[in-house]
Amino acid sequence: MEHCEVWLNDFLAAAKEPSPDVVKLLRSCGEKCAARQNLSAYFEGLRREASGCKTRADHAAFLKAYMSVDVSEAEDGILLRLGKTKCSCPMADKLAKDAGALCNCTCGHEMATWSIYFGRPVEVVIVESFLRGGKDCVIKIVV
């Protein structure tokens, strides 16, 4: 294993019971990852296409028709069930299986992109993830 991989595994093992500061740090990494991927134009375009959506149910229906993932409305948000067979983070395959703290990075990534879509800050909750022992990745966008 390369030195960076070992270091990241050590960091994520230490972050297994993350403090608010560690969560904030990992979410910031996710936000920066989303920015590097230039996703803002895509999500701004998606927001324009969804401009007629007024309710959470409208957004869930729009996203369900538009996206290739399972979308449903939740009481306090929208659930995205990604239907993957493994974690989609490009680092996950190189990290230890107990790297569940990395999901805080995913929260930051998803918060950055979905905040663009909704035109305001949103909270994101990882409901289920491969890195935390789940069989899929399920993300809730709290709106």
Residue 21 resides in a domain:
no
Q: How far is CA 73 from CA 12, 99, 135, 136, in A?
A: 32, 29, 20, 18
Cβ contact 37:119 at 8 Å? no
Q: What is the predicted pLDDT for the residue at 1?
A: 57
Check whether 93 has a pLDDT greater than 90: no
Residue 19 resides in a domain:
no
Residue 135 resides in a domain:
yes
Which single residue is written with the structure tokens 């800050």?
121
- Position 88 confidence tier, pLDDT thresholds 50, 70, 90: confident
Our count of domains for the chain comes to: 1
From the list 114, 143, 123, the residue with the least C-alpha distance to 34 is 114
Cβ contact 108:56 at 8 Å? no
Residue 20 resides in a domain:
no
Q: Alpha helices, DSSP H only, in 1-143? A: 3-14, 20-36, 40-49, 56-66, 103-118
Residue 87 resides in a domain:
yes
Residue 62 resides in a domain:
yes
Domain with 34, as residue range(s), is 3-14+26-142
Residue 60 resides in a domain:
yes
Check whether 98 has a pLDDT greater than 90: no
Alpha carbon distance 42, 34 (integer Å): 11
User: Token pair for residue 72?
Assistant: 């449903």
The model's pLDDT over 67-85, given as tens digits with 9 standing for 90+, comes to: 999 999 999 999 999 998 8
- A 10 A CB-CB count for 78 gives 22
CATH code, 138: 3.30.1380
Residue 133 resides in a domain:
yes
The model's pLDDT over 5-60, given as tens digits with 9 standing for 90+, comes to: 888 888 888 888 878 999 999 999 999 999 999 999 999 999 999 999 999 999 99
Alpha carbon distance 33, 39 (integer Å): 10
